[in-house]
A and B are shown apart, each in its own frame.
Chain A
Amino acid sequence: MSDKYIARSTGIAARKLGEETIIIAAETSSVFTLNEQATVVWEAADGVTPLRTIVEGRVCQEFDVTPEAAYRDAEELVTKLRGTASWWFRTSPLLPPSSLPCRP
């Protein structure tokens, strides 16, 4: 199965309120409220971390959910938001990880 990568669009307005996040896509004037689990995916959507790694490394660590169910939810979220210009969805990373600055 090929990896999927997601990155938040620069055109988005967003605010985390408590554990939830409200996002607005200026392009389509659509408004979404992301629940706690979706907020974790949203925050980790950097365009270089594969969706499966986000799900397994973040969502499954923070919530009592199986990797399969969490991945299904994440894919559903991505599909829902794809049409709203909220984020980019790619089958390759935004930048090759090696080109990112190293953190000590």
Chain B
Amino acid sequence: MHCYVEQGGNGEFATDEVSRVLKELASAGTLFLSISGGEPLLRGDLFEVIAEARRLAFDVKLKTNGLLIGPEEARRIRSLHVHEVQVSVYSHRAEAHEGITGVGGSLERSLSAIRLMRSLGQRVILSYVAMRGTEGDHPGVKALASELGAVFRIDPAITPRLNGDDSNLELNVGRGELVKIVQNPDYVNSVEEYCAPPAPADAATLEGVSCSAGFAHCYIAPNGDVYPCVQFPLLCGSLRERTFAEIWGDSPRLKELRRARNRDLPVCHGCSHLSLCSRCPGLAYMEGDMRGPSAADCEKSYARTGIVPSGSPRLAEGKFRYWKEEGMCRG
């Protein structure tokens, strides 16, 4: 319903190909490996893949809906020393959660998976995606996480699908709710620091970048295509044709991405929120220019500080794109 990942196989890598890529990643110095989907447990060889990743000493994280995790799967996850398992829970109310997943009984099944894993001491993150219709459920989901001994996390943003379809943005909560989330200690450790008025951009900020996509992390699609991030559909190479080291080191697109420092961003470099903004170059790319502003981050930055700068690109467009609400564009 809301997921940014496009569904569909398109030549998924076989186990031996995954294994080869894991070796290439390890020898390139990669330490962290997040396995997500779709639903990763739909791969019959998932545990073989995790075992190989652990043999190569990766720090493995798993994102799943938990529906396919029974006692045996929970035991295997635990015994393979998966660092953490993230399970999305949209509401503590079954009808609301299942209205989003479209699967009857899915809340109870996800919770039962979490219980099984927790009973074995597995670290579990219960991730609450704030959405229109369930925005009031934050305290209920938090209480559920605490009852289960899981770590509670909030994700306030629904982002466009990788094919550019942004119809799911309608599911984002309103601006008032976003403000409540970003100014909540459940979302950030220090609200005071996170929501302080922006400091002027200093030399380090101007020389820096707002995101490590393409610098320290990347996304590998099930078919071996390499992108800077799961939210950045800029194809940088195929692991069917080249090694990971070749793509990581030589891709002209990655080089172009790495060249863009904050000072080179035509709109953002003059923005009063630059020093605090977590501009996502992937979302900016999907809006037409990887060096441009990203609407989601403009709107989130303004929600943090409560200030909408008069020269804001969002005001120029006359509307907010992600977190809409009547009268919110008065500045």
Chain A residues close to B by CB (< 8 Å):
10-15, 17, 22, 24, 26-27, 29
Contact = CB atoms under 8 A, between A and B. Distances in A.
Interface of A is mostly: strand
B30 A15 contact: yes
8 contacts: A15-B31, A15-B57, A17-B29, A22-B31, A24-B31, A24-B59, A26-B83, A26-B84
Nearest to A16: B29
A13 B26 contact: no
A33 to B, nearest CB: 11
Contacts of A11: 81
Give the size range of B's interface with the partner. Answer: 10 to 19
Contacts of B83: 13, 24, 26, 29
Given A26-B81, A26-B123, A13 B58 contact: yes
Interface of B: 26, 29-31, 54, 57-60, 81-84, 123
Contacts of B54: 10, 13
B74 to A, nearest CB: 15
A13 B59 contact: yes
A27 B79 CA distance: 12
A22 B32 CA distance: 11
Contacts of B81: 10-12, 26-27
Nearest to B26: A15
Contact of B123 (A12, A22, A29): A29
A68 B83 CA distance: 37
A14 B32 CA distance: 10
A38 B132 CA distance: 52
Contacts of A12: 57, 81
Contacts of A10: 54, 81
A27 B83 CA distance: 7
B152 to A, nearest CB: 16
A14 B57 contact: yes
Nearest to B29: A17
A61 B82 CA distance: 37
Nearest to B122: A26
B123 A15 contact: no
Closest 8 CB pairs of A and B: A13-B59, A11-B81, A15-B31, A26-B83, A14-B57, A24-B59, A26-B81, A17-B29
Contacts of A24: 31, 59, 83
